[in-house]
Amino acid sequence: MNATAESVLKPTSATGSLWSWLVALPRDGSFRFSVKFGIAGILAVFATLFNKSHEPTWALFTVFVLMVAQYIGAVEEKSILRIVGTIIGGLVGYLLTAAFEQDPLIYLSLLGLFVASTNAMFGQARYPYAFLLCGMTAVVVCSNGMGDPGMSWEFMIWRIQEVCIGVLAVLLVQSLLWPRYAADEFLTGLRGAFLDLRDLFSTTRSGNSANGVAIEAHLSQLRQLLRFGGRESRYFRARIEAYVELLSVISRIHGAIRPLTGLGLKNSFYFENAGQQLAGVHEAIEAQLALLGAPKQDSSALRQGSLAINTAMEALKHAIIDLRRDPRSRDVELDDILGISLECLSLEEIHQELARGLDLLEGLPVKTKKRQALDLRGLVPGMPPAFWITNGIRSTISLIAAMVLMNWVQPPGGSMMVLCSWLFCFLLPISPEGRGDQRAWHVVVAAIPCILFLCLGLILASPLLSSYAVLNILIFTWMFVYGQVAYRTAGVSTVMNISMMGLVGAMSLNAQEPVSFQAIADVFFGISVGTVIAAVFQRTLWPLLPQREMRDRFQEMLRIQREALVSGTPSLEGVARLSQLPSEIKLRLANLVRPVYSEAEIQNLRNLLDHLDRFTANRIWESDPGEAKDGLALTKKIRELFAEVLEKISASFSTGRPCFVDAAPLRGAIVEFDAWLLDARLQMMSENADPSVTTNLIGRAARYQNAATNLMGAAEVAAQLDTALYSKDNAL
């Protein structure tokens, strides 16, 4: 939402527009954020230099990390976790260095075990940032205290002090200068989500579903804002339960819209007799979604919109009853029957969810549920995934190798080398570019000339660096540009990481003293050698590669779908992952190395993802079509066959062997199901059953039909893939 929360204003003409652009510039979100970024950096450095601190870079590093949070609630959360993690990590680093530095085997083993554990715990959901800071602070204290273990406590105190200075600088700037409140932006974003739904709903019959991915991304951002907003306002926190349910309503409406993509009325019989009523329902729903997305919501208008949907749905129901009296209804093709029933079912689901959403909005001023007792089990950190365990181990090995090299060879910039070797090996693989470790040596080749260029500039400018005015201009300009990038980037990219370390390295020269050539050389060799050490272990120990990540995410999607078919419903985490996985897979697809992966192979992967995503959209695991015993038996059989197909596709990725699926059993089950469905429809028509019961039965059956088509298409595409490629390390 960062890039869309506030529009970026630009001059539109050569005369007069430049002045209007300059006047409007302070309202631009990226400009405000970048100015705050620069001011916070200057304030932190000024405070540390005024206090004659040993390492002002630690305060500056804190500003870099905390300012990216942007929202008051997020900054508060990260500040607390950073201080707690720094204190604990500092104590551990001091105790290890003071007690065991003379016994390298014990010292490095204990330090490695602690850092690997904290790194791994960064990958679980509870207090990840505190665990990261524990490990980072221990690394900083140990690397700086190795030369004089008895005085390592000084580095612990300096680190804690300067981190606190950086935290205070960020809190002061974020609170006083153009503060951004997650609670306010959540409410704006909530209205925007309803408008996204309206746009998606209005284009479903044309087959355009491009906005679907945007809605899922929007919901993910809203969930983050919800968590931060709860830290900013007690009023907002009292309504979080209702807001959480509203996000679920939006997600369910999106799920009901997706099967409508490209549906439309294909039979003239239905178009003539129910087309007007269906169009009326569409118009009423679009109008209600527009009202829910309006900047100011009118309660009476929303209620009238809800009544209009009720009226339109009743008119549609009566039209379907009239259709039954027409003899031609018995001769309609099954595909046409399934189509109109699916549309009626989806419209009814949207209607129900809109009514639920309106009730929630009208009930927001009052918190009805009593506050429950605190569940201490929810505060206990969980187990990290396997990737984070291996990533913690290899980054720690990189750290230990750098510390041994520092103690043995004593190269220039040893402490900077130790920090970079650990930090780059740990964080660069998870950068938002989705390349993992594939480009580790490319980073080295690009980073070293950039750092050399920076250091040459520092040598030429070293006389000026003693001027606080020049120093402040350098800090503000660098951080302003960094803020421009950070405002539009989800996460911290590789370039941002290297840029951050470059400025921190430049600041480590400390303008309170004359800047020597050796100090600049320390910055160059420390960062350069650190990137080389990190790249060695990135590419040799459990390398994280796009093809493997893509394979794992395909298997995760297949596993969640299979478990949902068996259990009857996916977990809340499973539903969230099914919405996130398509965008994650597409990001990795873009990073596959050509020509190892041909364009035809990549297109097949895109087609496989599209089929599996459409299979998810049918949500067949939510309920069975009808309550008849024979119908339930048929749908159970179909679900079991679905699960078998998903298992075979997943197994092909695991074994690297071609996927061969015999589609005959599934096709036979669908034919049998079609025959039962036609008989069931005629029987319900003869019994004059309620139209809603009929449309629910046939509409859900239509989802089974669509799911079967999509899954068989996925199996056909999977058979064309060379799945052995996705377990290999194809290129350095």
Q: What is the pLDDT of residues 150-175, one digit of tens each?
A: 777 888 888 889 899 999 999 999 98
What is the mean pLDDT of the segment spanning 502-522? 66
- The CA-based diameter of the chain, rounded to the nearest angstrom, is 97
pLDDT, residue 269, reads 65
Supply angle C-alpha 80, 82, 85, rounded to 5: 105
* CA distances in angstroms from 185 to 117, 188, 236, 490, listed in the order given: 36, 5, 12, 17
Please return the burial class of 543, using the count of CB atoms within 10 Å of its CB with bins 0-12, 13-18 and 19+: middle
pLDDT, residue 535, reads 92
pLDDT, residue 699, reads 82
Per-residue pLDDT of 20-64, as tens digits, reads 666 666 778 888 899 999 999 899 988 888 887 777 788 888 898
pLDDT, residue 367, reads 42
Least reliable range by pLDDT among 15-29, 130-144, 375-389, 693-707: 15-29
CA torsion 453-459-460-463 (nearest 10°) is 150
What is the mean pLDDT of the segment spanning 618-646? 79
Which run of H or E residues covers position 142?
helix 128-145
- Kindly state whether residues 592 and 688 are assigned to the same domain: yes
Q: Given a cut of 60, is residue 728 above it in pLDDT? A: yes
Residues 217, 233: Cα–Cα separation, whole Å: 25
pLDDT confidence of 233, banded at 50, 70, 90?
A: confident
* Residue, of 466 and 349, whose pLDDT is higher: 349
- Kindly state whether residues 187 and 56 are assigned to the same domain: no
Residues 134, 157: Cα–Cα separation, whole Å: 14
Per-residue pLDDT of 188-212, as tens digits, reads 888 888 988 888 888 876 555 544 5
58 occurs within a structural domain: yes
Least reliable range by pLDDT among 438-442, 498-502, 558-562, 653-657: 498-502
Identify the residue whose tokens are 């006047």.
23
Q: Given a cut of 70, is residue 14 above it in pLDDT? A: no
What is the mean pLDDT of the segment spanning 99-106? 86
* CA distances in angstroms from 486 to 37, 172, 464, 473, 493, listed in the order given: 10, 20, 29, 20, 9
pLDDT, residue 329, reads 67
pLDDT, residue 393, reads 94
- Kindly state whether residues 486 and 415 are assigned to the same domain: yes
372 occurs within a structural domain: no
- Kindly state whether residues 484 and 562 are assigned to the same domain: no
pLDDT confidence of 8, banded at 50, 70, 90?
A: very low
pLDDT, residue 88, reads 94
4 occurs within a structural domain: no
What is the mean pLDDT of the segment spanning 628-634? 73
Of 493, 510, 540, which residue sits at a domain end? 540
Q: Given a cut of 50, is residue 6 above it in pLDDT? A: no
pLDDT, residue 12, reads 45
* Residue, of 28 and 688, whose pLDDT is higher: 28
- Kindly state whether residues 126 and 221 are assigned to the same domain: no
pLDDT, residue 432, reads 78
Residues 128, 82: Cα–Cα separation, whole Å: 10
The per-residue DSSP string of 627-663 comes to: S-HHHHHHHHHHHHHHHHHHHHHHHHHHH-PPP----
Contacts of 7 (CB under 8 A, 6+ apart): 28
pLDDT, residue 114, reads 94
SS3 content of the chain, % helix, strand, coil (to 5): 80, 0, 20
Q: Which of 37-46, 627-636, 693-702 has the highest mean pLDDT?
A: 37-46
Provide the domain count of the chain. Answer: 3
pLDDT, residue 484, reads 87
Give the number of other CB atoms < 10 A from CB of residue 322: 13
- Kindly state whether residues 676 and 609 are assigned to the same domain: yes
Give residue 386's identity as a one-letter amino acid code. Answer: A
Residue 649 near residue 659, CB atoms below 8 Å: yes
557 occurs within a structural domain: yes
Please return the burial class of 206, using the count of CB atoms within 10 Å of its CB with bins 0-12, 13-18 and 19+: exposed
pLDDT, residue 649, reads 93
* Residue, of 653 and 271, whose pLDDT is higher: 653
pLDDT, residue 498, reads 79
Residues 480, 34: Cα–Cα separation, whole Å: 5
Q: Domain range spanning residue 721?
A: 546-727
Residues 622, 627: Cα–Cα separation, whole Å: 14
CATH number of the domain that residue 589 is part of: 1.20.58
Give residue 325's identity as a one-letter amino acid code. Answer: R
Per-residue pLDDT of 318-367, as tens digits, reads 887 777 677 776 667 777 777 778 888 888 889 989 999 888 888 765 44
pLDDT, residue 53, reads 74
What percent of the chain stands above pLDDT 70? Answer: 86
Mean pLDDT of the chain: 82
pLDDT, residue 5, reads 41
- Kindly state whether residues 591 and 697 are assigned to the same domain: yes
What is the mean pLDDT of the segment spanning 401-415? 86
Residues 623, 63: Cα–Cα separation, whole Å: 51
- Kindly state whether residues 557 and 530 are assigned to the same domain: no
Of 327, 362, 397, which residue sits at a domain end? 362
Give the number of other CB atoms < 10 A from CB of residue 575: 19
- Kindly state whether residues 414 and 512 are assigned to the same domain: yes
pLDDT confidence of 143, banded at 50, 70, 90?
A: confident
pLDDT confidence of 487, banded at 50, 70, 90?
A: confident
pLDDT, residue 603, reads 92
pTM: 0.82
Residues 634, 724: Cα–Cα separation, whole Å: 36
- Kindly state whether residues 567 and 518 are assigned to the same domain: no
- Kindly state whether residues 254 and 319 are assigned to the same domain: yes
- Kindly state whether residues 403 and 506 are assigned to the same domain: yes
What b/e sequence results for 442-471 when a residue is b if at least 16 CB atoms lie within 10 Å of its CB, and e otherwise? ebbeebbeebeebbeebeeebeebeeeeeb
Of 540, 569, 584, which residue sits at a domain end? 540
108 occurs within a structural domain: yes
Q: Where are the beta strands (DSSP E) in 39-161?
A: none
22 occurs within a structural domain: no
The per-residue DSSP string of 576-599 comes to: HHHHHHHHHHHHHHTTPPTTTS-H
pLDDT, residue 45, reads 86
The per-residue DSSP string of 268-296 comes to: HHHHHHHHHHHHHHHHHHHHHHHHHTSSS
Contacts of 26 (CB under 8 A, 6+ apart): 32
What b/e sequence results for 208-219 when a residue is b if at least 16 CB atoms lie within 10 Å of its CB, and e otherwise? ebebbeebbbbb
Q: Given a cut of 50, is residue 10 above it in pLDDT? A: no
Give the number of other CB atoms < 10 A from CB of residue 10: 10
379 occurs within a structural domain: no
What is the mean pLDDT of the segment spanning 103-119? 91
Q: Which two tokens stand for residue 650?
A: 């997943």
pLDDT confidence of 84, banded at 50, 70, 90?
A: very high
368 occurs within a structural domain: no
Residue 418 near residue 531, CB atoms below 8 Å: no
pLDDT confidence of 604, banded at 50, 70, 90?
A: very high
